[in-house]
Amino acid sequence: MKTWQPFEWIVASRLLRDGRWQTVFIIGGVAIGVAVIVFMSALLSGLQANFIRRVLTAQAHIQLLPPKDVVRPLRPIVAGEVSAATVQAPLQRLKSIDQWQAVAAQIRAMPEVVTVSPTAAGSALVVRGEASRAITIAGIEPALYFRIVSLADKLVQGSTRLNASDILIGTELASDLGLAVGDKLRVTASTGADMVFTVSGVFDLGNKGANQRTTYVALHTAQSLLGLQGGVSSLDVTVRDIYAADTVAHRITARTGVQADSWIQTNAQFFSAVQAQVSANTAIRFFVGLSVAFGIASVLFVSVVQRSREIGILRAMGVTRQRILRLFLLQGGLLGLAGSMAGSAVGALALVLWRELARGPDGLPLVPVTLELPLFVIALALATVTGVLAAMAPALRAARLDPVVAIRG
């Protein structure tokens, strides 16, 4: 017993089989285009995710800072007059965010916010024997701060323990001063206060400068050392959507009156590079898709010319223009679907080979890529839709053929 098939499906498959070499070449062209789209999309997405992960694993999405000191003249300076005194910008002193506990509570209440962590940071001098280094000392609450920067994953030696006299230092500082876990060192703040700490852990932030300067102590210890009794110099914030950080930062400033800088603002050049990658990826997909569409359209136009007599006979037998239209649209959709399936397989194979072969000196992939099902589903859908749209012009031409003129040739 034969399975019933729609008329358009039977004729479309017959026409594609009859022009098998045309069909094979156009499916190959579509496959190459889809493979390029899949490979480039996955590669650029992995590259972008890797860049963002490297940037944001060592900093907050948003940072709230106290206002800077400013000085204003007592009266307006008139052009041409000699000013009695020169107005100079004041030296910036370490200040605390006013009523930071209330500000932090307001921010935590926002649905977009994940974590709010107070930090008391300032400059200091670390001394060991006759050697000394300038450092930045950051007082943190480990339970909150480690949700923003996972220092446990960056530890080289020791632990993340931060009692009152413990300090975490970078690998470069440890190497410069010959420090190891359990060693003592004296830290002198700009206020003149000093304290002896015990190294509880050594970390590697992946940046030589940060590993030379950055150190971590308990929040209350830093507040005493830096003269910020009960105060904090910044509030570090993470949000659910990292690309909405700028919008959330403006909302925080409007709600609390405290200056809020997002990672997008502080890393403007990096964010511009990420946006350029996204634009480049979009442009590549557009032009590859355009070439695929022109390839399908050209093959179907040739098919209409070659099959004009058959189309005329079908029209004379009573086949409607709507059926002729659907017949060629179906051919375009089938070419797009078959090519996208083959291209997705080729793209997946290329990604697997890239992941296995393109590795750095440490043995890790140069760019980590993942085979995500939505990417292949989108590629299949877009290629099929592109095939249907590309077939629209030749389908309309076929549907408008006059049967008498077409049969006469």
pTM summary value: 0.64
Taking only the tens place, the pLDDT of each residue in 257-302 is 888 888 888 777 777 777 777 787 778 778 877 777 777 777 777 7
Taking only the tens place, the pLDDT of each residue in 187-229 is 988 778 889 999 999 998 877 888 889 899 999 999 888 888 8
Hey, which of 30-34, 85-89, 267-271, 307-311 has the most confident mean pLDDT?
Answer: 30-34
Strand extents, DSSP E, 249-299: 259-262
Cα–Cα distance for residue pair 395/405, rounded to 1 Å? 17
Please, what is the average pLDDT of the chain?
80
Report which secondary-structure segment, H or E, holds 122.
Answer: strand 113-128
CB 263 within 8 A of CB 56: yes
Task: Give residue 45's pLDDT band: very low, low, confident or very high (50, 70, 90).
Answer: confident
Cα–Cα distance for residue pair 64/115, rounded to 1 Å? 13
Q: Is the pLDDT of residue 71 over 80?
A: no
Count other C-beta atoms under 10 Å from residue 70's C-beta.
Answer: 7
Q: How many residues does the chain have?
A: 409
Cα–Cα distance for residue pair 293/29, rounded to 1 Å? 10
Between 269 and 55, the higher pLDDT residue: 269
Task: Give residue 91's pLDDT band: very low, low, confident or very high (50, 70, 90).
Answer: very low
Task: Give residue 363's pLDDT band: very low, low, confident or very high (50, 70, 90).
Answer: low
Q: Which amino acid is at 255?
A: R
Residue 329, Cβ density class (10 Å: 0-12 exposed, 13-18 middle, ≥19 buried): buried
Residue 80 φ/ψ region, left for φ over 0, alpha for ψ in the -120 to 50 degree band, beta for the rest: left
Q: What share of the chain is helix, strand, coil (3-state, %, to 5)?
A: 55, 20, 30
Q: Is the pLDDT of residue 168 over 90?
A: yes
**Given this model, what pLDDT does residue 200 score?**
92
CB 65 within 8 A of CB 236: no
Task: Give residue 362's pLDDT band: very low, low, confident or very high (50, 70, 90).
Answer: low
CB 109 within 8 A of CB 193: no
Residues ≥6 apart with Cβ < 8 Å to 130: none
The owner of tokens 């004379």 is: 316
